[in-house]
Amino acid sequence: MTIFSRFNAVTTAAATSLLLSMGAAQADNFKIAVGDGAGGTQEALGKAFIAELEKNTDHTASLFLNGQLGDEQATVNDLAIGTLDFSILAINNITPFSPTVGTLTLPYVILSLEDAITVTQGPIGQELVENTIRDAGVRIIGWAYSGFRVLTNSSRPVESVADLQGLVIRVPPNEIMISTYKAWGVNPTPMAWSETFTGLQQKVVDGQDNPYITVYAMKFDEVQKYITNLRYLFSIEPLVVSESVFQGLSADDQAAVLAAGQAATEYSAQFLLDQEETIKAELVSRGMEISDPQDGEAEFIELATTAVWPQFYDSIGGVEKLNAVLTALGRETVE
């Protein structure tokens, strides 16, 4: 039994029945933009999606890794105008276009893989899908679960908020993440994902945060020495399709795309469970040092939740949006 059997996922039998009813359609070779390099969750999600799509339709698709088709936020614009078919990107790069998605990037809201699945696969996730169609002209059809965004840096171990002071940390151009570091007393440097490796290599910035799998896929061990097991943000990376491209498909092909996205989502959850510990060990073998925050991260949590959450109630659609997520996760609501 996989983890998804507890979350009312689409069953293989149901998907097969649906796809058997499909007729022939005009074959396309779709382009899928991918921000990360080979070996990461984004590539794994994309490969699983393509395998399902090709198995059940005449369509095919190709992955373009390492931001070949533009940085992640730029691909959202390209999707919106229909010049790109699909993109796999970090959810924080959709937030500027559809602010309610920011609920999932508030620090310390998603605390586990199970939390991420509960939210994305239920009514809240469906509402976010509808909002991104309305706000950004893109449709979320799958979710990659990449794990917590751990902090890496090239200078020293970081185990407390005090240890962060003086470090120059790269963050995406995302207001919630910028505000989180500011709550910890750091003025972070917003930087496009496509520029991050070079920025670390040239020491324009000392560090950045991303999941273990992304650190491995992007070979950050070549330019970073220390890892801190921060758990402030569980990285969820949607697979999105241009809504205009989606609407241009037949009903049968739309169903095929949605079914392939669901199958890839389930694969992604298992990929994280299967790979993360192995990748952590590999990064250590390459010379990286891993440490945990002091006192169970209590200082980081207190500063982030009290200072950052209230700043973004309005942009995410009201405090009730956050409370809906907290309720779904069985946690206390806020006022």
pLDDT in tens, the chain (335 residues): 566 655 554 434 444 444 443 334 467 999 999 999 999 999 999 999 999 999 999 999 999 999 999 999 999 999 999 999 999 999 999 999 999 999 999 999 999 999 999 999 999 999 999 999 999 999 999 999 999 999 999 999 999 999 999 999 999 999 999 999 999 999 999 999 999 999 999 999 999 999 999 999 999 999 999 999 999 999 999 999 999 999 999 999 999 999 999 999 999 999 999 999 999 999 999 999 999 999 999 999 999 999 999 999 999 999 999 999 999 999 999 98
- Please report, as a single letter, which amino acid is at residue 127: E
Nearest alpha carbon to residue 147 among 47, 285, 44, 66: 44
Q: Where in the chain is the domain with CATH 3.40.190.170?
A: 3-21+28-146+236-278, 150-233+279-314
Contact 271, 118 (CB under 8 A): no
| Whole-number pLDDT of residue 18 | 42
> How far is residue 180's CA from residue 305's CA, in Å, rounded to a whole number?
9
Residue the block writes with tokens 């200078």: 155
| Whole-number pLDDT of residue 21 | 39
Residue the block writes with tokens 């689409």: 10
Nearest alpha carbon to residue 76 among 131, 135, 138: 138
The torsion angles phi and psi of 266, rounded to 5 degrees, stand at -65, -40
Q: Does domain 3-21+28-146+236-278 have CATH number 3.40.47.10?
A: no
| Whole-number pLDDT of residue 3 | 63
* CATH number corresponding to 150-233+279-314: 3.40.190.170
> How far is residue 225's CA from residue 152's CA, in Å, rounded to a whole number?
7
| Whole-number pLDDT of residue 5 | 57
